Amino acid sequence: MKLNQSEVQSYRDNGYSLYRKPLFPAERMEVLHRLFEEQFEKKGAKLSDELDTPHWRDPRLLDFLLSDEVLDLVEPLIGPNIVLWSSHFICKDPFIGRATPWHEDSAYWKGRLDKYDSIVTIWLALDRSNKENGCMRVIPGSHRNGFSQYEDVDSKENLFPTRIRQKDIQDEQAVYFELEPGECSLHDSRIIHGATPNKSPYRRCGYTMRYFSADTKVIPEANEGFRIWLARGRDMAGNRYENA
């Protein structure tokens, strides 16, 4: 496993961890970059931050999503029975990249799963990610708070149309995830996180890979047409999976 006991405990306490080592070898990262560029060329009228579930369109991404490099990083956090939930290329173009408002991933999945305490997202940096180009930031420990209350925001300026009420956020508590290409962060689906807009001349692109423990039940009527994979171990919730 890629995380030691101290790192796992820190994740449980704070809701996140930073993995400051290359997740994949350089030649594998080159392949992933090419796959992203192919998706980017085909996006049409979509904005650059709207390339959701690209592995549905290009199964070559499953070589990364179901790889031991990734699953060995996830297993210490959610156990040996792992389901691939989703993935998303999130690219913020120079100068015009939209803000990601404060949110909890779990809030957007409310009603789709029977529990949210064993879901982890890997955010893999394809480009350098720092404060200047709008890197991710989190409120440590906020994964214990439950669902927050939300308010509307301008969807043209933000990746989502809602955000956690600004009066409930203390921005000074935020920890910024500054990452080099190939490094990654991991965060609990319940943690409060977001990102400022990219006003820099540098692109900020990452690949999110999301997993949950296989004892989590996907609610069929709330996930019509949604595709998941049993990535490792065995099913314990009676979910329906795609074939790898």
Domain boundaries, the chain: 5-232
* d(C-alpha 150, C-alpha 164), whole Å: 4
Does residue 187 surpass a pLDDT of 70? yes
Cα dihedral sign, 30-32-38-43: negative
Q: Is-contact 242 92, C-beta < 8 A?
A: no
**Residue 45: predicted pLDDT:** 65
Across the range 132-154, mean pLDDT stands at 94
pLDDT tier for residue 243 given thresholds of 50, 70 and 90: confident
Confidence (pTM): 0.94
Q: What percent of the chain has pLDDT over 70?
A: 97
* d(C-alpha 211, C-alpha 71), whole Å: 9
Ramachandran angles phi, psi of 232, nearest 5°: -160, 145
**Residue 244: predicted pLDDT:** 60
Closest CA to 100 of 161, 48, 57: 161
Q: Please determine, looking at this structure, whether the domain spanning 5-232 carries the CATH number 2.60.120.620.
A: yes
Render pLDDT for 209-220 as a digit per residue (tens, 0 to 9). Answer: 999 999 999 999
225 Cβ contact partners less than 8 Å away, ≥ 6 residues apart: none
* d(C-alpha 89, C-alpha 55), whole Å: 10
Across the range 146-172, mean pLDDT stands at 90
Render pLDDT for 74-131 as a digit per residue (tens, 0 to 9). Answer: 999 999 999 999 999 999 999 988 899 999 999 999 999 999 999 999 999 999 999 9
27 Cβ contact partners less than 8 Å away, ≥ 6 residues apart: none
The owner of tokens 């699953």 is 71
